[in-house]
């Protein structure tokens, strides 16, 4: 059975940091491109970061560039997101998503597997 399980969300003050994790099972993680997609309250989904299957190539939306870092550990079937300098506009449910291949997908659709999401709230 295929699973993507996110963790690490929570409540953080503006300027703070959080590290999200996404652990995969049931498929060959190392052959899949991974993305992070978020959905803020009342808004549509937003793709904001992706990493290729080997981890050597990453991409970010302008909204998070310089503040967030995506990484992966294929030996642990894990995807990570280090989020620094958080702002209230980062408040959203954060999802990891996977797609077979090696080309980063900068989209909110077309993925084969999705996690259940983890809530990140940035508020004082």
Average pLDDT for residues 100-104, to the nearest whole number? 92
3-state secondary structure of 48: strand
Between CA 122 and CA 52 the distance in angstroms is 28
Percent of the chain with pLDDT over 90: 97
CA distance linking residue 21 with residue 9, whole number of Å = 9
pLDDT at position 111 is 95
Confidence of residue 28 (pLDDT cuts 50, 70, 90): very high
Note whether 12 and 97 are within 8 A (CB): no
pLDDT band at 31; cut points 50, 70, 90:
very high
| Alpha carbon distances (Å) from 11 to 20, 39, 85, 103, 117 | 13, 16, 14, 33, 15
């Amino acid at each position: 059975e295929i699973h993507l399980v996110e963790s690490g969300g929570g409540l953080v003050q503006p300027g703070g940091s959080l590290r999200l994790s996404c652990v995969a099972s049931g498929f060959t993680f190392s052959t899949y491109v991974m993305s992070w997609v978020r959905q803020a309250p009342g808004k549509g989904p937003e793709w904001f970061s992706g990493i290729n299957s080997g981890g050597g190539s990453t991409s970010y939306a302008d909204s998070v560039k310089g503040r967030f870092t995506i990484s992966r550990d294929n030996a642990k079937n894990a995807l990570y997101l280090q989020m620094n300098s958080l702002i209230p506009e980062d408040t959203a449910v954060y999802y990891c998503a996977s797609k077979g291949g090696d080309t980063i997908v900068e989209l909110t659709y077309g993925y084969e597997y999705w996690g259940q999401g983890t809530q990140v709230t940035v508020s004082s």
